[in-house]
Amino acid sequence: MTITNEPITAKAHTNIALVKYWGKADEQLILPTNDSISMTLDHFYSTTSVQFDPVLSTDEIILDGIKLPADGQQRIRQFMDLVRQLAGITTFAHIETSNHVPTTAGLASSASGFAALAGAAAKAAGLNLNRRELSRLARRGSGSATRSIYGGFVQWHAGHDDETSFAEPLEEKVDWPIRMIAIVVSRDEKKVGSRHGMKQSQTSPFFKDWVKQSNADIEPMKTALLKKDINRVGAIAEHNAMCMHATTLSAMPPFTYFNGDTIEAMQLITDLRNNGLNCYYTMDAGPNVKVICLENEVEPILDHLRPVFGDAHLVVAKPGSGLTYL
């Protein structure tokens, strides 16, 4: 392999799952317990530059302008070791990442971060990987990153080994006005990280039912997206998210990502729907709520959300693009 002399910069967007990934069948390979479907968002993204340098004695990792402490570098260094193994090299790299999304707040910063890192590191190491191979590589850093290689609506096939667990696009150029409003009730780091939360949730007596339900949601969600049926998409996504969070509430010991503002947002969206607006909520591992709706109902929904949460805490996103090089 020929290492590039210049830094390689890649950009990847976050994705929010409509059918969730929540649980690993294989911790080392990051194989999920079930298939998932997501929407890549245009508003939240990460940019990452990678340059291999023979002078370095270890990887240098800069996140949002700050050098990461040693205890925060482990996941990235392990990922870079995997890239080096694939490329047959031993050279360390200088890595700079900028997250245009609150980190560790349940807005999928690790998905965009590791997708961008996979793209930049692979190319800088001289690897010529296609998108499916990049999807598999990104998965080894963060499960959800496997979907951020692509834009639009994406399905992650759980698979049974490294070769068969990858994402592929369902529709990258989305031609209908689906939107997602992020209600950012907290930008603080969550108390229970996603990886630990997934593992703890598998102690729930309902976890097997969660896996069964999620796999059963895949085909109906694909059909709803194909038919551009916002109410069916929203209803499946909302129910799926609550099934996921039921495993946290019933884990041993139980925990939750909800806070008071989360509950208020969920109730407000339910009330708006009962009053005729076609809107639904979904949540990942964090307190922030995402609202699924159509473009023509964004403003009426925002009119009800602004007095409660403030304009600065509301972000409107539409389907975004996949991995690009800058």
279 has a pLDDT exceeding 90: yes
Residue with tokens 């602004």: 306
Q: What percentage of the chain exceeds 70 in pLDDT?
A: 97
Question: Would you say 104 and 193 are in contact if contact means Cβ atoms under 8 Å apart?
Answer: yes
Give percent above pLDDT 90 in the chain. 86
Query: Is 273 within 8 Å of 169 (Cβ atoms)?
Result: no
Architecture of domain 178-317: 2-Layer Sandwich (3.30)
Where does the pLDDT of residue 109 fall: very low under 50, low under 70, confident under 90, or very high at 90 and above?
Answer: confident
CB neighbours of residue 319 within 10 Å: 23
- For the segment 213-235, the average pLDDT, to the nearest whole number, is 98
Which of the four pLDDT bands, split at 50, 70 and 90, describes residue 107? Answer: low
pLDDT of residue 220: 98
Per residue in 115-153, pLDDT (tens digit) is: 999 999 999 999 999 999 999 999 999 999 999 999 999
Q: Residue 136 contacts by C-beta under 8 Å, 6 or more apart in sequence?
A: 146, 162, 163, 165, 166
**The sheet that has 289-294: what strands, in order across it?**
280-283, 289-294, 178-183, 314-317
The DSSP bridge pattern shows strands 66-67 and 60-63 to be antiparallel
CB atoms within 10 A of CB 244: 25
Indicate if the pLDDT at residue 197 is higher than 80: yes
Q: Tokens standing for 136?
A: 């598999």
Under the banding of pLDDT at 50, 70 and 90, the label for residue 2 is confident
Taking residues 143-166, report their average pLDDT: 97
pLDDT for residue 1 is more than 90: no
Q: What is the mean pLDDT of the chain?
A: 94
- Report whether pLDDT(104) > 60: no
Residue-range domain boundaries for the chain:
8-175, 178-317
> What DSSP character marks residue 133?
H
Residue 108: predicted pLDDT:
57
CA angle 60–42–45, rounded 5-degree value: 10
Q: Which pair of tokens denotes residue 87?
A: 């490329």
Taking the C-alpha atoms of residue 18 and residue 199, their distance in angstroms, rounded to an integer, is 21
The 10s digit of each residue's pLDDT in 4-16 is 878 999 999 999 9
Three-state DSSP state, 76: helix
One-character DSSP codes across 218-240: HHHHHHHHHTT-HHHHHHHHHHH
Confidence grade of residue 105 (pLDDT, cut at 50, 70, 90): very low
246 pLDDT higher than 80: yes
Residue 71 has pLDDT above 80, yes or no: no
Instruction: Identify the CATH number of the domain defined by range 8-175.
Output: 3.30.230.10
